[in-house]
Amino acid sequence: MPATFLPSLLITDDDAALRETLRSVFEPLGCRTLLAGDGEEALRIVKTQEVHVVLLDMHMPRMTGLETLRMVRQFRAILPCILLSAQLDEVLAEQARRERAFSVLRKPVSRGQLVGVVTQALQRTYNWHATV
């Protein structure tokens, strides 16, 4: 990726305060952030804008994070999707692996852990070697 590459991070969660908190974490690190309140809005954004990484809350109205991930895979097969869930268990972790989630993280997640996973996703998918 060129030195001017600014990664776009789509933050998808039905909790508006959490979306804004995550925006305040990633924007100072040089990420362009896009916000979606549910899976349907996330799909519209992925279809119409440049997105490099997607953060998906598992439990949202209308469409779960896992369902959204499945839909994203139909038209953006390599887009790294990171699933977040307060109720993470082995069943959900296995389902996420089958759907090729980049990572599954338990909420609450630390700032360092989340920034680290997003950085890994950018490095592995786009060969981007700066730290977010």
Q: Going by CATH, does the domain composed of 8-126 fall within 3.40.1160.10?
A: no
pLDDT, position 131: 61
Listed by start position, the domains of the chain span: 8-126
* 84 DSSP β-pair partners: 57, 105
Instruction: Tell me the one-letter amino acid at 4.
Output: T
Q: Tell me, what's the pLDDT at 129?
A: 77
pLDDT, tens digit, 9 for 90 and up, residues 92-109: 899 999 999 999 999 999
User: Residue 103: left if φ>0, alpha if ψ -120 to 50, beta else—which one?
Assistant: beta
What pLDDT, in 10s, does the model give residues 2-53? 445 789 999 999 999 999 999 999 999 999 999 999 999 999 999 999 999 9
Residue 51 CB burial class (10 angstroms; 0-12, 13-18, ≥19) = buried
What pTM did the predictor assign? 0.93
